[in-house]
Homo-oligomer: A and B are copies of this chain.
């Protein structure tokens, strides 16, 4: 018997309907913000995917050759493809606000919650220098999560320029700052001692490492943390710029309506190397053990790296499968009516065609309707409707039809009501 390839999974209808519901909500919110969908192929030229991710990525992705020996690879995120589009279509009207919700692939060790095929939902804005764009992508994702039923968040903010200046201030050579970012990024996972260990060879000595970690300790209320950071970094132009960018982001967050969730944490680095300004992570209240459920940041240099005109860019991304799973555990789908709402049950073969006609009328009104196709007895049909979680069964019998009527059975109460055919749609709507 064949199974899905290792590390991948099927979404049977119950699960796929939940995932689709999540995607639909998110899409509606993103479109309300004026983000527009962009479609790019599932695979890209391998060389392109390596531009911003380096050769290491080959160990983590599905790469292959096509029949003409082109080196291709399945996309492992949406950003590179989108940047390619922005770089090559120079006439795109700016700001260019796009969303993408679709599958990505990584060859990682699979677990119960981590799959090799996983859907990512991205919003990005190209062409805006100001922090208003960072605030808008964050606002869109916060609104999307609120629409999904999450109540409250912690949004952790930092700025790469602050981090860079702190690393300088601590005495770590500039050319090692990317390595230092990566070490610092593990603070939450491996703790202070772990990071000091990681910093060996990056930091000149243990004292420098300790100093770095002390400087990174500032976190909490945005105004307070940024006021202190500005004093601390007064001799570092980049760092001060970073502080001002976050202050502006915070100011706009008040207008967008999510400022109450913001916490600044000077140790937040985020793994990816390409961020140039604000970086952010979103944690859902009550679900802190899942870590961040969304993350992103500003990456003003990549479009140029891909051969385009210099173009500012910022965005947020989250994993659709993971969020669906959290919602499932939260019980968010428990009362959700998925699938067909109405079952049309002919009492015998003679009335099947009448039953079909009735089903067709309901379907034309977008009422999800199933009609018996098995010639089953009424009792079996009720059983089937019950298994499918359908609440209303329309029983079609000869006598009732003669009176232009049907019987509607409420599957919860068992109550049966005779309904005139021309009233059926409005009764079931």
Binding site for B on A (CB under 8 A): 1-6, 8-13, 15-17, 19-20, 28-29, 31-34, 36-45, 47-48, 59, 62-68, 70, 72, 74, 81, 84-85, 87-89, 92-95, 97-98, 103, 105, 107, 117, 125, 127-128, 130, 132-133, 136, 139, 143, 251-252, 254-257, 306-307, 339-340, 352-354, 356-357, 360, 362-364, 366-371, 373-375, 384, 387-388
Contact = CB atoms under 8 A, between A and B. Distances in A.
A314 to B, nearest CB: 11
A40 B4 contact: yes
Contacts of A139: 360
B357 A33 contact: no
Contacts of A47: 2
Given A368-B32, A373-B130, A13 B38 contact: yes
Contacts of A41: 4-5, 8-10, 117
A251 B68 contact: no
26 contacts: A1-B87, A2-B88, A4-B40, A5-B45, A10-B38, A11-B40, A12-B92, A13-B38, A16-B36, A16-B39, A32-B363, A32-B367, A32-B369, A34-B340, A36-B339, A42-B117, A64-B65, A66-B107, A130-B373, A130-B374, A132-B352, A136-B373, A252-B353, A254-B353, A255-B354, A256-B356
A70 B6 contact: yes
A48 B42 CA distance: 21
Contact of A374 (B29, B128, B254, B384): B128
A33 B64 contact: no
Please give the count of copies of this chain that the complex contains.
2
A12 B92 CA distance: 9
What are the 5 closest A-B residue pairs judged by CB atoms, nearest first?
A11-B39, A64-B64, A13-B36, A8-B41, A34-B370
Given A11-B39, A375-B130, A369 B6 contact: no
Contacts of A388: 93
Nearest to A119: B39
A67 B139 CA distance: 39
A47 B5 CA distance: 11
Residue among A37, A94, A254, A307 with the highest chain B CB neighbour number at 10 A: A37
A42 B360 CA distance: 34
Contacts of A306: 1-2
B13 A37 contact: yes
B5 A17 contact: no
Given A32-B364, A43-B62, A93-B384, 10 more contacts: A2-B307, A4-B44, A17-B37, A32-B363, A32-B368, A42-B42, A63-B64, A133-B373, A136-B373, A255-B354
Given A13-B36, A16-B38, A1 B307 contact: yes
A16 B39 CA distance: 6
Contacts of A6: 66, 68, 70
Given A2-B87, A20-B37, A98-B13, A103 B42 contact: yes
A38 to B, nearest CB: 6
Contacts of A95: 373-374
B72 A66 contact: no
Nearest to A59: B67
Contacts of A88: 1-3
Contacts of A127: 374
B62 A66 contact: yes
